Structure 1
Amino acid sequence: MEKYSTNAINADAPVMLATERLLLRQWQRRDLGPFADMNADPEVMRHFPAPLDTQQSNDLAARLCQLIARDGWGFWAVETRSHAEFIGFVGLRETKPDMPFGSCIEIGWRLAQAHWGKGYATEAARRALSFGFEVLALEEIVSFTALPNLRSQAVMQKLGMHRAPDDFDHPAVPQGHALRRHCLYRLARGAWQEQQP
């Protein structure tokens, strides 16, 4: 069975989403520099196994761009509408099938440290959730992070997501690593609909 609806998606014109303050869009070449700076920031990457060098960051941006080009949606580049300033990424993507909870659609985000504490992650993620449930007709969206990442967990809670009872070891994080243990948050479409005004 198809996990999501593609009826409303035109792959030749990738989806662009807007909020009051932000634009979620396809990646552009001008994003690479600030993205590399962000991925090299030890504080931004505190809850990942290691910061990324410039080539690793560029490769990641290329993969995210390719997925949006293929599907019409994904982990979008995010910029402020007031200054067209790149601040990070927010969006949806399909998890790998080797995750303990199987393949599903996750919502994720990563913002440059200068833009923390402004509600941007929550604002953009709410718009991405709306797209996932209303356009893709998803039954559920999940999110996960390393246990020490309380900042991301706070965003998940603001989004109305609920923590699953069982934590898990992330298969991409080496055994014995302090960040291997992750928590999983879930949000069903019915619960999301109940939150809407």
Structure 2
Amino acid sequence: MSDRYPVPKGRHRVSESIRRSRFVTTVGPAPDEEVARAFIEEVRDEFSDATHNCWAFVAGPPGSTARVGMSDDGEPHQTAGRPMLNALLHSGVGEVVAVVTRYYGGVKLGRGGLGRAYSGGVQLALASLPLVERVDRVPVRIRLGYDAVDAVLRLLEEHGVERVSDDWGRRVTLELAVPCDDLERVVREVRDCTAGTADVVVEPEGS
């Protein structure tokens, strides 16, 4: 079964001032925990002079708590990382990391004010975050004759199949990445389109 869900297209940043403190929220892709933590370190290095660099990530589907992380980075316990994580978990966006950088302006916000500021920064960034659809894909190899290539290529384009590589030898070999939820249909239509003359091999996962 395939998972399709929105993920960040790239790095995105917003900022706001709340009672003389400046909050800068940076959001980006987090396909796994290693990428998320590398993103966090980059932002921390960029804003090394800030009072706090609080963060949270969801390195999985929207709402999944299987691979998450958070940090208050010196703010009172659960006033930053937890509200940020909750905002991410309820956003409907997957594989996402957020760092909220705070430059303290001399006015204390209190625990409730801090929670609202950090969660609000994440929500503000997510509201304008460019997204793309994340699609599970499976590698497939097709070998076919030249007479069927044009028709098969049109079919593959209709189904959003990615062409990884081509080999134009005695027969044409297409290395593809097929959306999992379209796999059976694509294989069936390729075989129908080529009257069964195409060799279609679905590669084992992780090959």
Q: TM-score, normalised by structure 1?
A: 0.27
- Which structure has more relative contact order (CA 8 Å, sep 6+)? It is 2
Q: TM-score, normalised by structure 2?
A: 0.26
Question: Is the radius of gyration larger for structure 1 or structure 2?
Answer: 2
